[in-house]
């Protein structure tokens, strides 16, 4: 059974307020996406990596591949209009068996630990899929401008990545969504919509997505200690 990491990296990251997409902002001399790719390069359970990126950054990703000796990075494809399209383009470039695993991971989650990744892959191999999530720790409430009520946090999780599925199942879910012209925010939503039961794997607070200027500040501080 092969496990391939798919990194959709065609997003523009407008919320970050940067002139370039957040995944290409440099920290300690290297782009944020490099930190992400190196996690999968080092992981012994990952066989290949494929990145989908906007046309303007194809040359940069090819340079990154050579400079950082990312030998597992086999395919670099042009991304689509939405994340869903980028994932579809990425897995369309692969030659996989039905039971092979596809691990989709956000380009802007650079602090994924090997322990979290390995645990999720092992779960997916055993149960067919695994979505990395973080238990809700803070008090949750419902409302808009005023508090309408509180929610039992024990039943809620923050969804992270990687999200790992059998190739045939993910392909079916993507095709199913496409036929209904439905766009989800992540792969777990598409899988659930297509009727699959999804397993929850343990995440980490460090596995956050760099989305806002505050996230950049946190990552910049942490990367000095972790790397």
pLDDT, one tens digit per residue, over 24-37 is 999 988 999 999 99
Per the structure, the count of domains in the chain is 1
Q: Domain range for residue 78?
A: 3-226
What span, in angstroms and rounded, lies between the C-alpha atoms of 108 and 105? 9
CATH number for the domain that contains residue 26: 3.90.550.10
Task: List the structure tokens of 118.
Answer: 């390995």
What span, in angstroms and rounded, lies between the C-alpha atoms of 196 and 171? 12
CA 53 to chain centre: 13
CA geometry: angle 167, 169, 171, nearest 5 deg:
65
Confidence check: pLDDT of 163 > 90: yes
User: 90 falls in which pLDDT band (50, 70, 90)?
Assistant: very high
Confidence check: pLDDT of 68 > 60: yes
Query: Locate tokens 């930190």: which residue?
Result: 35
CA geometry: angle 190, 137, 13, nearest 5 deg:
50
Write phi, then psi, for 138 (nearest 5 degrees).
Answer: -85, 160
Give the mean pLDDT of 187-203. Answer: 97
Helices (H), the chain: 32-42, 58-67, 83-92, 114-127, 167-179, 187-193, 213-226
């Amino acid at each position: 059974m092969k496990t391939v990491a798919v990194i959709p990296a065609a997003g523009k990251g407008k919320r970050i307020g940067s002139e370039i997409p957040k995944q290409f902002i440099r920290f300690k001399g290297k782009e944020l996406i490099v930190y992400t790719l190196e996690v999968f390069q080092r992981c012994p359970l990952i066989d290949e990596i494929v990145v989908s990126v906007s046309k303007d950054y194809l040359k940069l990703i090819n340079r990154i591949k050579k400079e950082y000796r990312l030998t597992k990075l086999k395919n670099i494809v042009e991304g689509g209009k939405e994340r869903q399209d980028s994932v579809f383009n990425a897995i369309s470039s692969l030659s996989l068996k039905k039971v092979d695993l596809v691990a989709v991971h956000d380009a802007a989650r650079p602090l994924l630990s090997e322990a979290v990744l390995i645990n999720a892959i092992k779960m997916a191999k055993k149960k067919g899929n695994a979505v990395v999530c973080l238990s809700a720790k803070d008090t949750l409430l419902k409302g808009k401008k005023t508090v309408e009520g509180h929610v039992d946090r024990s039943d809620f999780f923050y969804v992270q990545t990687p999200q790992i599925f059998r190739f045939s199942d993910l392909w079916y879910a993507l095709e199913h969504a496409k036929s209904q012209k439905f766009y989800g925010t992540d792969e777990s939503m598409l899988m659930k919509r297509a009727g699959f039961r999804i397993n929850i794997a343990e995440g980490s607070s460090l596995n956050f997505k760099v989305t806002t200027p505050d996230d950049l500040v946190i990552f910049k501080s942490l990367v000095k200690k972790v790397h």
